[in-house]
Chain A
Amino acid sequence: ETGVTQSPTHLIKTRGQQVTLRCSSQSGHNTVSWYQQALGQGPQFIFQYYREEENGRGNFPPRFSGLQFPNYSSELNVNALELDDSALYLCASSADRPPYEQYFGPGTRLTVT
């Protein structure tokens, strides 16, 4: 069974730029969620995708957007990067029965300068 993978591992961007992060879900999982984890904080829910449709969204502005593909892999796009967007971005895929516990990837560390 293949776990959740994310790419890239880390990257550095300049304020105002755009970034795309990628995630492959665990085998058999059709739900993917994205989280932002600032240093010293717990993960904050950005949004969730189920079968290519957005299925819930946290308190993040529209410049955070996403996609899910037919093979259940996913992308997180962030436009107009701000310094506060510097964080660890985590992707998680969910089991197919309650409580739909989430299995996380290793994360992408984004630094905005």
Chain B
Amino acid sequence: QKEVEQDPGPLSVPEGAIVSLNCTYSNSAFQYFMWYRQYSRKGPELLMYTYSSGNKEDGRFTAQVDKSSKYISLFIRDSQPSDSATYLCAMSGGSYIPTFGRGTSLIVHP
């Protein structure tokens, strides 16, 4: 079992939909949780990070962490075709070195 599990998709949604992206993990030492967006043939771009459990909102993006269930989510409201990309979750503990999921491919069609 991998430390971080993420469904590769692809997830295809119509423009304007609410998107839900999720990861599960097994290491209870993880305390920092991050979401990255990666366009094709580009480096990952940090979208958001959260510490411990709870919610964090930034514009159309909301990150949720449930440490009791070892489950994190990223919600995208009013999705746009420009949101089409691969979304990577990452998490770290005391070493601060992140462990990444394999990424979920998101396609938002007009």
Q: Are A42 and B43 in contact (CB under 8 A)?
A: no
Q: Provide the residues of chain A in CB contact with B43, threshold 8 Å.
A: 4, 6, 90, 104-107
Q: Would A109 and B41 be within 8 Å (CB), given that A42-B102, A99-B96 are in contact?
A: yes
Total contacts A-B at CB 8 Å: 58
CB within 8 Å of B: which A56-113 residues: 56, 88, 90, 94, 98-107, 109
B38 CB to closest chain A CB, in angstroms?
A: 9
**B102 and A101 contacting across the interface, CB-CB below 8 Å:** no
Residue contact B97 to A43, C-beta cutoff 8 Å? no
| Interface residue tally for chain A (C-beta within 8 Å) | 25
A90 to B102, CA, bound (A): 15
Q: Tell me which residues across on chain A come within 8 A of B103, comparing CB atoms.
A: 40-42
Q: Tell me the bound Cα distance from A44 to B101 in angstroms.
A: 10
Indicate which residue in B8, B44, B99, B101 contacts A104 across the interface (CB closer than 8 Å). Answer: B44
Chain B positions within 8 Å of A33 at CB level: 97
Q: Are B44 and A43 in contact (CB under 8 A)?
A: yes
Q: Which residue of A lies closest to B33 (CB)?
A: A99
A25 interface residue per 8 A CB criterion: no
Which of B13-21, B45-53, B61-69 is found at the contact surface with chain A?
B45-53
